[in-house]
């Protein structure tokens, strides 16, 4: 599993929360898997 920076994680969550895009689109934008985006969103919801 590739380690991504905390900054990238915050950007992914922020872009998705703006509500104008899908998980798939965010994943493509940052060249990461959809499961990674989903994991970041789950972690954010659980821990803030």
Written as tens digits, the pLDDT of the chain (48 aa) is 678 899 999 999 999 999 999 999 999 999 999 999 999 999 999 998
Query: What pLDDT sits at residue 5?
Result: 92
Radius of gyration of the chain, Cα coordinates, nearest whole angstrom: 10
Q: pTM, whole model, 2 decimals?
A: 0.88
Widest CA span of the chain, in angstroms? 28
Neighbours of 31 (CB within 10 A): 6
């Amino acid at each position: 599993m590739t380690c991504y920076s905390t900054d990238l994680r915050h950007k992914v969550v922020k872009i998705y929360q703006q509500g104008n895009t899908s998980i798939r689109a965010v994943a493509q934008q940052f060249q990461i898997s959809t499961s990674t985006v989903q994991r970041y969103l789950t972690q954010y919801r659980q821990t803030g």
